[in-house]
Structure 1
């Protein structure tokens, strides 16, 4: 269980950082990532969070020319590791993925904490965590000649017996590249050292001996420190890190900082840690990247938004900080980011008109479905197990309405059902499914199926399906032959309980499913999500 307490971040911004408790100064060894220091600026930059709406844990950012590139944890959803770009750190466009097709051959699941870094050699590297087939968690690396890819996987760099996660590239005071990472000791009830070890010139292997920078020693840090991000400022390396419990309704995540004159230490933890904690809007801020822009310093990190919590997931937020007279970072607005809210994403629709599926669609990373786009239709090939073939999109709000049109539902082959679903993982979903002359609301919980409501399948060449979510975990299901007059399937006033849907480290997706023999195909037209406050 402790192993699963590694949080990724999709920072949601505007967090208050009133200290949870002071920790004694600790001198240790650690590494930090280099960044330019800009002229100080007195006026804070207005920020509306989240800047990355939806499930974007452990966000990372790097600058290439006048463009910023970001990525984030994808965990057990594929494609692996989103690629986003921005010119101002606040408005982002999803343009692809580090691994858009098959995941790296050496790994099977838990694709966490990708750290994107445009290196001095002109290449862009992504240092990432994944579960090694037949082994434990390890840090791997991929490289590309351009930040948008294509990326070539270079394999794992380090995988300790207790697991290795959260790799970060930083150059020391002599310009030598180092990998900084966390040993995942909390997975076996041990401390969590932060290590540093020199990287080879081609970034494909570690050389020399590893050095411990520091570990969890302060009370507020709980059973772990993780997610290192290093910058250089005013003659010091500063290592920002996350600590305590990352995920779920009971999370206790917060952000601390340590500094050192040399990358390998000794490191001194700030006696006013944690420097970034929850406020009324954002909960459990942590695991991000510090970066400077136009004289302003920011951290792009993840946090849960009050009212959506684990149902939407850890969203990406941007929090600004300055440097105190004593040389330590201090987050603005009483140790937090102003809590202005970004405009709610309105209607998101897909007409399936292109030749390829939009990059916002995802699937279970171990069970990529077979699908095709043709004549404005999404054609999804069924599968007989693991909840069927599934394609989903991240939810962006705790309140939304999703609709799609299933074509020729009465013509689905025997043993086949298809429809609309709220997706937690392959073992947990709530679905509105047509097939075998019936229309059913089905609950799949821990791999066991239960029918919540049922009616006769309406006749006609198409059937409009609708799912409505209220508060992240209260679901209603309806159908319509014409898309105008809707009939609810659950009794009046009743909703389906979706509190079981989100895994410990992910938000809920909403999308389409097809269950049955692999010879069967279901066709869908137009998918739409309307988000609400």
Structure 2
């Protein structure tokens, strides 16, 4: 494998944090990437890069999931599944599925927004992973997969003709690849549709998110017949998966492939693979079909931080782009106050996974610590804290009682009927500063930050992945029904201990 001449090198994953189901394009000198957001709001994060290695969130394409009332409660695993992003006739289009409703489209002249309201292009249960292609003759096609949980079928890729504005279906759907007819092919999904030198290409993974591989399919007609080849697989590397992604071409004609690797509690992290076209006309990804762990940077850019996790001082009283709620928020959830995030407490049902007013950001994929100062304002029965949320969770914070505030740590496992109190003491002050640390194995430790240094609390907890996502650092506030209470969170710091620096 010949590498581009460059003094700078990058190390995979290039984003060592949860970036589920990525797709990417280049427009001019800028690359744009989108990812699944599921139940979280704002959703559909849009990231930008000038070098394919370093990325930042520049917008969210949807403020929340549709319909608003249904997603006012956490709907874990529902909402925005694997999207695609394309640019056509001066507009960006993001095409995304809600597996319980169908395929939606949002559009914008600028990837930073504003984005249009979602419009339903293709209704139907279990229609997932859509991607459009505008053909040279003016026809427009949409490829997609199927979710058996809703549609009753899977392992099949279909193409349906649509209008160029992505507003309507204009012809019948046809199945173009039957995974059951391919030896060893299971869970074929995540297709991306391209055209090159007269060939129609579908790049799609199979085999499952943690154990699968990448196929390339090609045909002379968009409806096939397609021939296939495995073009990227784990081999003897530590990169399990490797799963769905995007082919991009740089301005100077080099080819690259972005994909994810499922790292469990740390989510679906983003990798960048070199790509070239072999003498037989098929794409060659990575090192002869094996994922690379390190490579010369595409444009010679040095690699910066490999996580999207960011601290926040909340200067305007609002959360930064790195945060997302577990459900669609409304205007009553925050009381903007410069220098803090003041959350109006929601009704407490005793379970953080059913509480809408939980805001978080993905765990970094390397050892990290989140520290935050918090205080309560409200009656007995109010609680607030910081936590690590997945299918299991831990939270640490303050609980108000008639006798005064208590500093507590509690955990809950998915098979338990309620929370388990792991630590309980009188709060040392009206405001406390807590630190939650996560090691390389996802084990969580809790400490109180005091003038003399950190005081470790005698609690250890193993974090767990969420529904199709990794675990998240979160903040929350809750109280009893018909009670008004708020919690203030200030000076969020996230320390990431990446071994490369």
**TM surpasses 0.5:** yes
In structure 2, what is the equivalent of residue 454 of structure 1?
Answer: 424
Given the alignment of the two structures, is residue 196 of structure 1 paired with residue 144 of structure 2, yes or no?
no
Check the 8 A contact 1:194/1:212 in 2, yes or no: yes
Q: Which residues of structure 1 form unaligned runs of 5+?
A: 1-15, 17-40
Given the alignment of the two structures, is residue 60 of structure 1 paired with residue 23 of structure 2, yes or no?
yes
| Deviation, structure 1 residue 343 | 5.8
| Deviation, structure 1 residue 154 | 4.2
| Deviation, structure 1 residue 215 | 1.8
Given the alignment of the two structures, is residue 422 of structure 1 paired with residue 388 of structure 2, yes or no?
yes
| Deviation, structure 1 residue 365 | 2.7
Q: Which protein has greater RCO, CA pairs closer than 8 Å, 6+ apart?
A: 1
In structure 1, what is the equivalent of residue 432 of structure 2?
Answer: 463
Equivalent position SS for 1:349? coil
C-alpha distance after superposition, 1:252-290 (max 9, x if no partner): 1211111011222221112xx253336534221121111
Q: Any residues of structure 2 matched to 1:313-352 within 5 Å, and which?
A: 313-340=267-294, 345=306, 348-352=310-314
| Deviation, structure 1 residue 179 | 1.0
C-alpha distance after superposition, 1:34-81 (max 9, x if no partner): xxxxxxx87487543223331101111122222111110111222111
Equivalent position SS for 2:221? coil
Q: Any residues of structure 2 matched to 1:28-427 within 5 Å, and which?
A: 43=4, 46-99=9-62, 101-105=63-67, 108=71, 109-119=78-88, 121-131=89-99, 136-161=100-125, 163-185=126-148, 190-216=153-179, 217-222=181-186, 224-246=187-209, 251-270=210-229, 273-277=230-234, 279-293=236-250, 294-304=252-262, 309-340=263-294, 345=306, 348-354=310-316, 356-366=318-328, 370-383=333-346, 384-385=348-349, 386-387=351-352, 388=355, 389-407=357-375, 409=376, 412-424=378-390
Closer/same/farther in 2, CA of residues 219 and 159 from structure 1, 3 Å limit: farther
Check the 8 A contact 1:80/1:103 in 2, yes or no: yes
Closer/same/farther in 2, CA of residues 417 and 355 from structure 1, 3 Å limit: closer
Equivalent position SS for 1:311? helix
Q: Which residues of structure 2 form unaligned runs of 5+?
A: 72-77, 296-302
Closer/same/farther in 2, CA of residues 300 and 372 from structure 1, 3 Å limit: farther
For 1:44 and 1:330, the matched residues in 2 are separated by 19
Closer/same/farther in 2, CA of residues 512 and 345 from structure 1, 3 Å limit: same
Of the three residues 469, 480, 495, the one matched with 1:530 is: 495
Check the 8 A contact 2:372/2:490 in 1, yes or no: yes
For 1:127 and 1:44, the matched residues in 2 are separated by 36
Q: Any residues of structure 2 matched to 1:512-523 within 5 Å, and which?
A: 512-517=475-480, 519-523=484-488
Of the three residues 488, 493, 497, the one matched with 2:462 is: 497
C-alpha distance after superposition, 1:346-365 (max 9, x if no partner): 88421111353210011103
For 2:310 and 2:172, the matched residues in 1 are separated by 50
Check the 8 A contact 2:134/2:164 in 1, yes or no: no
| Deviation, structure 1 residue 462 | 2.2
For 2:11 and 2:115, the matched residues in 1 are separated by 32
TM-score scaled by structure 1? 0.81
For 2:315 and 2:3, the matched residues in 1 are separated by 48
| Deviation, structure 1 residue 510 | 0.6
| RMSD (Å) for aligned C-alpha atoms | 2.6
Check the 8 A contact 1:230/1:290 in 2, yes or no: no
| Deviation, structure 1 residue 441 | 0.9
Check the 8 A contact 2:65/2:79 in 1, yes or no: no
Check the 8 A contact 2:11/2:293 in 1, yes or no: yes
| Deviation, structure 1 residue 527 | 0.6
Given the alignment of the two structures, is residue 433 of structure 1 paired with residue 397 of structure 2, yes or no?
yes
For 2:231 and 2:279, the matched residues in 1 are separated by 18
Count of aligned pairs: 465
For 2:42 and 2:246, the matched residues in 1 are separated by 22
| Deviation, structure 1 residue 233 | 2.2
Check the 8 A contact 1:157/1:204 in 2, yes or no: yes
For 2:241 and 2:154, the matched residues in 1 are separated by 21
